[in-house]
Amino acid sequence: MNIDVKALGKVAVLFGGDSAEREISIMSGTGVLAALQSQGVDAHAFDPAERDLSDLKKEGFTRCFIALHGRHGEDGSVQGALELVGIPYTGSGVMASAIAMDKVMTKRVWIAEGLPTPRYVWLAPHDQSRERVIAIPDEIGLPLIVKPPREGSSIGITKVQGYSQMQDAVALATKYDPDVLCEEFIDGEEITCPVLGSGEAAYALPLIRIVAPDGSYDYQNKYFTDVVKYQVPSGLPDAEEREIQRIVVAAYKTLGCRGWGRADVMVRKSDRKPFLLEINTSPGMTSHSLVPMSAKATGMSYEQLCVYLLSQASLDSKKP
């Protein structure tokens, strides 16, 4: 992979931002910035929470590496702003970013395309009465998952074991999002699958099997402890791995994703059926992050991955 780093021009690494995932974004962006600089890229830190995006144009930046997570970072907002100023950026465009950020909209698209995803109930702000909330387990069973549909990093999520927990679970989710997603719990193995590329050239990297203590793959364990085990290679049978990769690439292309992304999948213990949970269009790039881990299994270093992703930066209006 011979990439002329000088041809990449003056690069802004966007990180920080004002979402609930700011802390993780700073960890991701700091790693990306150091990696790009180590490869000779003229890269600079840029925090949209502290500076106006119009400064990008004024200061002559020619492309952006988006290391923002959550609201305004991977929901199409910053992508739209960069489209308007005409600066190519990494990752998915406006529409795919906006849809993938909303887990309910993502499910609607996947279901329309016949892709497997857990059953769910969406609770709009006007539809969260005590009577409505307490009836959800009758529709999708117990245990179930309650989460804000437009947050990531396991923020605001509750695994509900009984009716009595429903009210508190919904109350927690609404701290982060007025809408609430209640989702069937899939008992099985948690798998994540990164995807690189765009269109017909999109391809899946090796699967990672996530083994968390007591199944607790939460915010703290994701980023700040070493108790979670990540298995690459996954140890799944080859045919099963290939089928999951096929479904993930189909899910990625169906949403119109480009550049890179990472899908989270549950494989049901009882029948080994995979279920798509979500696609992350601006995955983490911290020391614990999964896309670099999977890329490393193919021989691609963290630094090479960062330069590759940057080289794929584009605009919706000027698709590669």
272 counts as catalytic: no
Find the farthest-apart pair of alpha carbons in the chain and give their distance in angstroms, rounded: 61
284 counts as catalytic: yes
* Token pair for 245: 């990769």
Q: Which of 63, 209, 258, 262 is catalytic?
A: 262
262 counts as catalytic: yes
Q: Which of 284, 289, 294, 303 is catalytic?
A: 284
Measured at the alpha carbon of residue 185, what is the angle toward residues 225 and 158, in degrees to the nearest 5?
50
Q: How far, in Å, CA of 21 to CA of 101, rounded?
A: 13
Q: How far, in Å, CA of 197 to CA of 195, rounded?
A: 7
CB 153 within 8 A of CB 21: yes
For the CA atoms of 226, 232, 234, 240, the dihedral, rounded to the nearest 10 degrees, stands at 140
Q: Which of 153, 198, 234, 289 is catalytic?
A: 153
Q: Which of 16, 17, 19, 21 is catalytic?
A: 21
Three-state SS at 119: coil
214 counts as catalytic: no
Helices (H) and strands (E) in the chain, counts: 11, 13
Q: Which of 280, 282, 289, 294 is catalytic?
A: 280
Q: Which of 89, 223, 252, 308 is catalytic?
A: 223
223 counts as catalytic: yes
189 counts as catalytic: no
Q: How far, in Å, CA of 227 to CA of 76, rounded?
A: 34
Query: Which alpha helices (H) appear in the chain, and where do they start and end?
Result: 22-38, 54-58, 77-85, 94-101, 103-112, 130-140, 166-173, 219-223, 238-254, 290-297, 302-311
CB 314 within 8 A of CB 320: yes
Residue tagged 């980023």 (tokens)? 223
153 counts as catalytic: yes
Q: How many CB atoms lie within 10 A of CB 104?
A: 18
Q: Which of 63, 278, 282, 303 is catalytic?
A: 278
Residues classed as catalytic: 21, 153, 223, 262, 264, 278, 280, 284
